[in-house]
Amino acid sequence: MDYVNSDQAFLKKDIKGAKHEMTYAGALSFLRRKYSRDLKGVDIVVSGIPFDSAVTNRPGARFGPRAIRGASTELASLDAFPFGFNPFDTLGVVDYGDCALDSHAPETIAATITEHARGILAHDCKMLSFGGDHFVSLPLLRAHAEKHGSLALVQFDAHSDTWADEGRTPFSHGVMFLQAVKEGIIDTSKSIQVGLRSWNDSAHGFEILTSPWVHRHGTAAVLEAIYERVGDAKAYITFDIDCLDPAFAPGTGTPVSGGLASWQALELIRGLTPLNMVGMDLVEVAPAYDHAETTAIAAATIAHDWLCVMAEKAGAKRQVVGRI
């Protein structure tokens, strides 16, 4: 049997292109990409950050990377919708596997994640990272800021994650973006938070589009606000799956009613092509609370569509069949 019909994660020899594989079988990688740590010619590196010890409510997001990979198999079986192309004809993408963490030495976690990202970024690859809880964004941002300077943050979330940390450890998934602001990693004048629906006494310089605002004004208005805020700044995308309403993403640690629908999130991700994006993470998928892979499928589709947007930026052309 030809290797391309089975277990492409291990047996595929090149980093571009894609072949059909049984969606219900075979070795799992994200979108059946080759597992590799040889980054020659690679445009985007997918990796997992399986850490969830900074949560304030339900744990379990350490299993998120595995769940997202598993939910991605169907997406790998056809050309991308609604783009009408295979992103891997344009982009070289590999699955790097997971960042190796010592869960018994929490004081080492942040530095280990930063070093993991630093090593990948040194090869001039972009990163698509799967958490893990949202704390992992802070050490990832540190590595990206080392390479690119202060970044615009485009945050999709139910929570601001900028609560004041006086008297509390910054080792939390609710304070890390305020910590990033203090470290100069984030330029708040270029940053925007979308989908928020939990109270914070201060915006800390971010522009905020609450979930009710998104529902009232629509996705086109959200995209215009993002374009205006970010401009041509180097932007990092962070997507907390709890940005979605629990009806669309029950498998998460801190669900909040009133969130975005899956279709709204996908419209927003598909509209990010004009931005100068340097990386993305997708966090807080906790499969123990999921139903029929609903949350994992949403997460895998958001990540898949971001790769399609990056392929479009690299020259892939959308095809139109029907009214898109």
Q: What CATH number did the domain enclosing 236 receive? A: 3.40.800.10
Q: Which of 115, 157, 129, 67 is nearest to 281 (CA)?
A: 129
The mean per-residue pLDDT over the stretch 129-141 comes to: 97
Which of the pair, 143 or 323, is modelled with greater confidence? 143
pLDDT at residue 168, as a whole number:
60
Q: Is the pLDDT of residue 201 over 90?
A: no
The mean per-residue pLDDT over the stretch 201-224 comes to: 95
Structurally, how many domains does the chain consist of? 1
The mean per-residue pLDDT over the stretch 219-231 comes to: 98
The mean per-residue pLDDT over the stretch 134-150 comes to: 97
Token pair of 158 as six digits: 């139910």
The mean per-residue pLDDT over the stretch 237-251 comes to: 98
Q: Which domain holds residue 112?
A: 3-313
pLDDT in tens, 253-270: 999 999 999 999 999 999
pLDDT at residue 9, as a whole number:
86
Asked whether 284 and 68 are in contact (CB, 8 A), the reply is: no
pLDDT in tens, 74-104: 999 889 999 999 999 999 999 999 999 998 9
Sign of CA dihedral 166, 110, 130, 305: positive
Domain assignment of residue 319, yes or no: no
The mean per-residue pLDDT over the stretch 288-316 comes to: 97
CB atoms within 10 A of CB 100: 8
The mean per-residue pLDDT over the stretch 127-148 comes to: 97
Domain assignment of residue 37, yes or no: yes
CB atoms within 10 A of CB 6: 16
Domain assignment of residue 320, yes or no: no
Domain assignment of residue 194, yes or no: yes
pLDDT at residue 167, as a whole number:
53
**Cα–Cα distance for residue pair 117/126, rounded to 1 Å:** 10
Which segment of 44-53, 142-151, 169-178 scores lowest on mean pLDDT?
A: 169-178
pLDDT at residue 15, as a whole number:
87
pTM of the predicted model, to two decimals?
0.95
Which residues touch 230 (CB under 8 Å, ≥6 apart)?
152, 154, 190, 191, 192, 275
**Cα–Cα distance for residue pair 40/257, rounded to 1 Å:** 44
Q: Is the pLDDT of residue 2 over 80?
A: no
**Cα–Cα distance for residue pair 210/294, rounded to 1 Å:** 24
Calculated CA dihedral for residues 132, 138, 144, 149, nearest 10 degrees: 160
* DSSP strand pairing (126-131 vs 234-240): unpaired
Domain assignment of residue 216, yes or no: yes
pLDDT at residue 1, as a whole number:
45
Domain assignment of residue 318, yes or no: no
Share of the chain above pLDDT 70, in %: 97
Q: Is the pLDDT of residue 169 over 80?
A: no
Across the chain, mean pLDDT equals 93
Domain assignment of residue 324, yes or no: no
- Going by the DSSP 8-state scheme, the letter that residue 190 receives in this structure is G
Asked whether 233 and 152 are in contact (CB, 8 A), the reply is: yes
The mean per-residue pLDDT over the stretch 303-321 comes to: 94
The mean per-residue pLDDT over the stretch 271-282 comes to: 98
Domain assignment of residue 267, yes or no: yes
Q: Which of 295, 288, 203, 206 is nearest to 247 (CA)?
A: 295
Q: Is the pLDDT of residue 175 over 80?
A: yes
